[in-house]
Chains A and B, each alone.
Chain A
């Protein structure tokens, strides 16, 4: 029982990342009809927003300490962050420590801008082209973006820790009456799950309860009619692209303490997120979220030693296996609508 609860918890945070990326993918597909293979790269750029902000916060000037020597025996150059000069050492360190949560604010305008530039600069020229062309151009863009990041940040993972206050893990087992240490869960992952829930709820509320959201939903259902009513739907769709980019970017920012970001982290998530979208049903926002969590939890279960002992290698194929079964039994995915991607 304890093992099952543990794997459900584990699946939830992985599912949160899948759900957030898949949500953005579905938003873009539902509004603009574009299959965006560069969406994983947006997740990665979000993560590097966190890296960038922590680098900005640790920007330093050098002072030479004659009392200490460096590895070549020369006087040691000590880096002193500017935030120490501005706010004092204690406050400066606290600001640096909180770089990841602060990056959320930093990333939102950057990601919206990246999204809008991507849509206006490249993707809009491919609206009327076949899906295969869209996939090729966005995949190419993803490769370009990850190479640019690699050029500036290197190939190795860059540690971007969570604030010290969130280190360690919560003993869920003890709370539920199990023995201590049986079901533990890191604090930051709990926060990630909560953050994902808030973002997902926010996007749904935005689409459901605002006039802007209503127009976008109308446009998704019948673009032409909305256009005939004199509403500039293209502009709104561009903004939606920006929002989708921000959702993926924020998922990336908050993910950095879980796994140190590197330039190909977007690709690692991209393929799985597409499977999530297909399983959830192309164009269905609730489907994307549901499938994200479902596949995250299933993947966790398949990584259990007891399961691998019975079916070796199941941990690597479970998601694709489930995708095949669902597509065979429900070709439109779990919550897919009729007529989407069926022409």
Chain B
């Protein structure tokens, strides 16, 4: 019988060696099997759609989800193909992405950054999502974009309008098709100067968060450049529902124009209150009092009802556009769901196609290869005319729509009319423009 010498040190050493030995092959196999996070190995690929399914933007989220489902159907060869038929790139064949059938999982952002990060994380870690897309708020988009950068997956932003998403908070793994505050200001200012004159005194009410600040700054600087004067800019709490105490002093200030840097429920309530106070029936400084809403959405216009009539704003896309891409999308979406798509639906549908197309062109799902295929990529046929995905900040540059609340709507969807399609040159800015400074893309992350 041999004597077994078991000392504490000996046990630790043996354990460490055995552990390292066991771990070694897994490290190598992991490295060889997955070159990047969630590399698809079977016959399917999973996309993660992270939209607000509950909370104040739930209706917007529902429309985004409809568009995503439509995009997946088209990518897999179902339906009439929608914008795949008008897209300038012909890489997509309707056989999934790189021959793999597209499937998807959904998460609920609740329009809260922490909930959105948690659902994105779960889709990446548990469901193996290779790409995350969605969001109906800039706070959520910025938070999820940072998470995707760390995790090594691509983030295709949904409805996010703050300059910061592709400004100080931009990331190498994140891409935005939607337009931004700067573009709204640059597109709106000339139309406003033309309609209301160059001698105006503006009073801003601004939602007290990231998007509100960048929109106020953008509209202020572009209207001031046209000769307008900013009398005051007042921050309003995001949770505010009755804006009467903010609107009542507007006339006392001597302002003749009210700019509502509000979105969603805030915009519906502040505009309703402003109209109730009869601001638009007043004459100040010898001019008719006017209201401006820099970022419009059809779903919001519906909430504000008749109050939007005649009010200027900007939008990323509208279903009445008559280009072939828009017509194809409206036909597919309208046939499937019975009503026209919103701008949120449009941008999310387009983002899904752009991602799939970039993977096809790169010949790989690897995030860095996809990012490279998207950078400085020019395309057409997706509803906004010629568009550039600028490599320097991952922002799309395309025409911007200036719209006005329709005086005589013919249906509940026919609420906005397009006043001008502002050409892309007028809304383009340098990547280091002061409104976008302070951040860096960094390097792309393949994860794994």
Contacts and interface: CB of A to CB of B under 8 A. Distances in A.
Is the pairing of A and B real? yes
Interface of A: 2-3, 6-7, 9-11, 13-14, 68, 70-72, 76, 150, 154-159, 161, 167-169, 181-182, 184-186, 188-189, 257-260, 262, 264-265, 268, 299-300, 303-305, 308, 315-316
Q: Is the interface of A mostly helix, strand, loop or mixed?
A: mixed
Given A155-B56, A299-B245, A304-B245, 15 more contacts: A7-B245, A7-B248, A10-B244, A10-B248, A68-B410, A72-B330, A155-B57, A155-B59, A156-B58, A156-B299, A158-B303, A169-B276, A186-B277, A257-B276, A260-B268
The 5 A-B pairs with the shortest beta carbon distances in the complex, nearest first, are A159-B305, A155-B58, A303-B245, A169-B278, A168-B278
Interface size class of B (residues with CB under 8 A): 35 or more
A168 B307 CA distance: 12
Contact of B269 (A186, A188, A260, A316): A260
B55 interface: yes
B7 interface: no
Contacts of A168: 278, 281
Nearest to B244: A10
A303 B55 CA distance: 26
Contacts of B269: 157, 259-260
Interface string B272-284: 1100111001101
Given A157-B268, A182-B252, A264 B56 contact: yes
Contacts of B413: 71
Contacts of B320: 71
A211 to B, nearest CB: 39
A157 B305 CA distance: 10
Interface stretch (B22-30, B210-218, B231-239, B379-387): B231-239
6 contacts: A71-B334, A157-B303, A159-B304, A168-B281, A169-B276, A188-B276
Nearest to A160: B305
Contacts of B284: 181
Interface string B38-50: 0000000000000
B271 to A, nearest CB: 10
Contacts of A185: 248, 277
B334 A258 contact: no
B245 A72 contact: no
B252 A300 contact: no
B33 to A, nearest CB: 43
Contact of A3 (B249, B276, B282): B249
Interface string B319-338: 11000000000110011000
Nearest to A304: B249
Interface string B396-431: 000000000000001101100000000000000000
B265 interface: yes
Given A184-B278, A189-B276, A303-B246, A315 B302 contact: no
Contacts of A70: 411
A24 B73 CA distance: 52
B306 interface: yes
Interface in B284-326: 284, 299-300, 302-307, 319-320
B193 to A, nearest CB: 24
Contacts of A6: 248-249, 252
A161 B303 CA distance: 11
Interface in B213-229: none
B251 interface: yes
A168 to B, nearest CB: 4
A14 B242 contact: yes
A260 B300 CA distance: 11
Contacts of A268: 239, 241
A161 B273 CA distance: 11
Contacts of B245: 7, 10-11, 14, 299-300, 303-304
Nearest to B269: A259
Q: Which of B246, B248, B302 neighbours the largest number of chain A CB atoms within 10 Å of its CB?
A: B248
Nearest to B58: A155
B340 interface: yes
Contacts of B273: 258-259
Given A70-B411, A71-B334, A182 B276 contact: no
B303 A156 contact: yes
Nearest to B52: A155
A180 B350 CA distance: 51
A50 to B, nearest CB: 14
A299 B239 CA distance: 14
Nearest to A72: B334
A169 B277 contact: yes
Contacts of A7: 245, 248
B334 A184 contact: no
Nearest to B305: A159
Contact of A260 (B272, B330, B414): B272
Contacts of B249: 3, 6, 304-305
A259 B242 contact: yes
A159 B302 CA distance: 8
A2 B276 contact: no
A184 B251 contact: yes
Contacts of A257: 276
Contacts of A155: 54-59
Contacts of B234: 305, 308
Interface string B329-366: 01100110000100000000000000000000000000
Among A161, A181, A299: residue with most chain B CB under 10 A: A181
A156 to B, nearest CB: 5
A71 B319 contact: yes
A1 to B, nearest CB: 11
B27 to A, nearest CB: 47
Contacts of A14: 242, 244-245
Nearest to A166: B276
